[in-house]
Amino acid sequence: MTTKAKTETVIENGTEIFVPLNKLKKSPHNVRKTPHSEASIEAKAASIAAKGILQNLVVEPELDGDGQPTGFYLVSVGEGRRLAQLLRVKRKEIKKTEPIRCVVDTANDPAEISLDENVNRENLHPADEFERFRELAENRGWGAEEIAARFGVTAHVVKQRMRLGAVSPKLMQVYRDGDLTLDQLMAFAITEDHERQEQVYEYLSYNREPWTIRRDLTKTNVAATDRRAILVGAEAYAEAGGNIIRDLFTEDRGGFYEDAALLDRLVIDKLERIAAQVQEAEGWKWVSVHIDYPHAHGMRRTYPQPVELSEEDAAAYDAAQEKLERLSAEWEDADVDLPPDVDARFAELEAEIERIDAKRHAYDADEIARGGAFVVLSHDGDARIERGLIRLEDEKPDAVEADGGETVIDGVRVDSDGEIIKDENHVAALDAEVEEAAEDGKPLSDLLIRDLTAHRTLGLRLALGKQPDMALIAVTHALAAQTFYHGAEAHCLEIRPTSSHLGGHADGIEDTAAAKALADRHAGWAADMPRDVTCLWGFIAGLDQASVMALFAHCASLTVNAVRQPWERKPRAYETTDRLATAVALDMTAHWTPTVRTYLGRVTKAHILAAVREAVSDEAAERIAGKKKQEMAEATEQLLAGTGWLPSLMRTPEPAWLSEERPEAHTAEAEDAQETEDADSFTVAAE
């Protein structure tokens, strides 16, 4: 009876049955020895939860040692679906007895059909997959989150596939035909503008690197790291109707602002609001707004002059300074972080001291009434205010105040209404001059004046050459008079300092830390200069020796020009530049760093690898040698950080005494190699 009962439970081949999930086992004949990935099981579980099991599992009855069914079934085809259902049991979405639709196969070899399922199949072409995901969103109205839940992938993956599905059908067909790689297709997906995509594809050269495609597609857009985008901000730009292009396949650092014209308008609007606040608060005659500093403005620049603090401000400054010193002494030996209230108190006192300190220098009220300011966009996305500019039409004529409120202009006395004042003394003086001229005849001839002053010039040259200290004052006066006073011919030494504008040679150089340090030093000296150039000699002569030397050095420094132009051939000047750099111990690592923007993105891969070999190691260079240009440049920026590496054009030669200790470094071959490297680097930089 028992044998007969067991035999009756045997199910015929090809029968479709429902088997409880807990009665299904993995077949020992399953050819897949590498386990299913967690992501694969997750995706199958999500799909089954949304759509059910679309394909039956293929099973065979498990038999015991006597060849009789045990009541369990071995899964030959569909192990991944079984594991997905077990995952759903674990999540309490279904019971462990959930009936699973299966087909019994006792005729075929279980190992063969397991292999057949995984071999005789062809994955959906990625292009078809991308387009179907996009259609789900468009036709069903599903968002990325809902689609992701139905397919067991992340929303970001869905967005990527939808974006790829939105690429121009023309380019999608090129991808299907194998003439575009997936990386290149992803690069085109940075924008959904089909016309723009096709235009860039049409003009692609032999260089089809993805980074090149992205660059060409976004060249008319503005990166989110741009100073304009930083000033405006993504929220304000979006509120104004602007669209931000996001690259879903690479780190885009905030994306790209599509409408550059709109962004520029928003920048100007924000700067104009700041300008209005500055003008209202400070009283300038005019305030002008610019995105870039207008270097060719041709206006004279004035600077704030030292002023005495009021008794009230002086007392407040001393009180704040005393409180700060007392607080600092109290917490000097503290080993823990300052409590928030103490930290805030420090900030308050420092802000108060800084506020009062700012009052120690002020612009003259007349200069504010006649002058103006520029509000420009700085390199870091902040508004920069440049004050004290006087337009030519607002310049006052050379005038000297006389007694009684009168003014003397070119030797003529005028009243407050500009009328010439004629009094008896004035007329008498004019009559005396006429009589003297009649007695003495005509004035000295031009020829005689030249003769006499030539002799005087010779005497001055002879005397000045014997007095080095006075020569230093005279040269410093000549330099300072032309450096700090607009159009003032107040010097008698024929020394003409020329200062080349560097902004035309290196974009953004005026906004670097080095440029700011130089501008601050210049502003400091300008604030100390007397208002009238006729008082400049006395000012310089009254300085101590160290101050004269410092002013002389500053004025001289502004005339340095070490820029190399491709059409210039000045080998001796370049040699002198190197000697000057050595003499002042110039260390360019304090002012410049090799980055993708400043150097690595503008040279060849060979230059990049040579830099890594020199600064890091041959092994490091080999590790990045196979990378694409943009990736190599970005990796190299990280490798060179902190190494102090510089291109040969930026390096300071060793002092002569050190070079003499190592004569082998100065062989003819080494010099030729160095000249070649310099020439190559210069050619790349010029491009």
What digits encode the pLDDT tens for the residues 549-562?
A: 999 999 999 989 88
Contact 262, 255 (CB under 8 A): no
For residue 371, pLDDT beyond 90: yes
Distance between CA atoms of residues 218 and 196, nearest Å: 10
For residue 431, pLDDT beyond 60: no
How are strands ordered across the β-sheet holding 407-409?
Answer: 400-401, 407-409, 412-414
Whole-number pLDDT of residue 159? 81
Determine the average pLDDT of the residues in 653-660. Answer: 67
615 to each of 415, 517, 542, 640, 664, how far by Cα in Å? Answer: 73, 29, 50, 7, 21
329 to each of 82, 208, 321, 340, 624, how far by Cα in Å? Answer: 72, 64, 12, 17, 53
Nearest CA to 485 out of 549, 390, 566, 373 is that of 390
Dump pLDDT digits (tens) for 10-46.
Answer: 678 888 899 999 999 999 888 887 888 888 898 889 8
220 vs 636, residue with greater confidence: 636
Backbone angles phi, psi at 27, to 5 degrees: -70, 135
Distance between CA atoms of residues 633 and 639, nearest Å: 10
pLDDT tier at 543, thresholds 50, 70, 90: very high
Distance between CA atoms of residues 331 and 687, nearest Å: 56
Distance between CA atoms of residues 497 and 481, nearest Å: 10
Distance between CA atoms of residues 353 and 647, nearest Å: 44
Compute the 3-state secondary structure of the chain and give helix, strand, coil in percent, each to the nearest 5: 55, 10, 35
Residue 77 tokens read as 């085809």
Dump pLDDT digits (tens) for 165-186.
Answer: 888 889 989 888 888 888 888 8
Determine the average pLDDT of the residues in 584-593. Answer: 89
CATH number of 2-119: 3.90.1530.10
Determine the average pLDDT of the residues in 119-141. Answer: 74
Nearest CA to 186 out of 206, 225, 159 is that of 159
Whole-number pLDDT of residue 403? 43
Long-range pairs for 490-499: beta carbons < 8 A, 24 or more residues apart: 490/533, 490/534, 490/536, 497/555, 497/556, 497/558, 497/559, 498/559, 498/561, 499/558, 499/559
User: In the 8-state DSSP scheme, what is residue 535?
Assistant: G
Tell me how crowded residue 615 is: count the other CB atoms within 10 A of its CB: 19
For residue 237, pLDDT beyond 90: yes
For residue 611, pLDDT beyond 90: yes
CA terminus-to-terminus distance, the chain: 96
Radius of gyration, CA atoms only, the chain: 41
What is the amino acid identity at position 34? T
Rounded to 10 degrees, the C-alpha dihedral 277/280/284/286 comes to 70
Q: Give 357-407 as a DSSP string.
A: HGGGEE--HHHHHH-EEEEEE-TTSSEEEEEEEE-GGGPPPS-EEPGGG-E
pLDDT tier at 631, thresholds 50, 70, 90: confident
Whole-number pLDDT of residue 400? 44
Contact 349, 327 (CB under 8 A): yes
Dump pLDDT digits (tens) for 476-513.
Answer: 998 888 888 866 678 888 888 888 878 778 877 877 88
For residue 540, pLDDT beyond 80: yes
Three-class secondary structure of residue 674 per DSSP: helix
Structure-token match 């308050």, residue found: 348
For residue 675, pLDDT beyond 60: no
For residue 635, pLDDT beyond 70: yes
Whole-number pLDDT of residue 205? 72
Distance between CA atoms of residues 502 and 387, nearest Å: 21
Nearest CA to 228 out of 288, 272, 276, 270 is that of 270
For residue 4, pLDDT beyond 80: no
pLDDT tier at 666, thresholds 50, 70, 90: very low
Whole-number pLDDT of residue 583? 87
Nearest CA to 302 out of 370, 253, 256 is that of 370
Q: Give 570-589 as a DSSP string.
A: -HHHHHHHHHHHHHTT--GG
The mean-pLDDT minimum among 141-145, 352-356, 532-536 falls in 141-145
Whole-number pLDDT of residue 441? 56
Dump pLDDT digits (tens) for 222-235.
Answer: 888 888 999 999 99
Whole-number pLDDT of residue 10? 62
User: In the 8-state DSSP scheme, what is residue 471?
Assistant: H
Determine the average pLDDT of the residues in 310-317. Answer: 90
What is the amino acid identity at position 48? I
For residue 398, pLDDT beyond 90: no
Distance between CA atoms of residues 501 and 485, nearest Å: 18
Mean pLDDT taken over the chain: 82
Nearest CA to 292 out of 499, 500, 508 is that of 508
**CA atoms lying within 13 Å on the CB side of residue 145:** 0
pLDDT tier at 682, thresholds 50, 70, 90: very low
Determine the average pLDDT of the residues in 49-53. Answer: 88
For residue 660, pLDDT beyond 80: no
For residue 351, pLDDT beyond 70: yes
pLDDT tier at 401, thresholds 50, 70, 90: very low
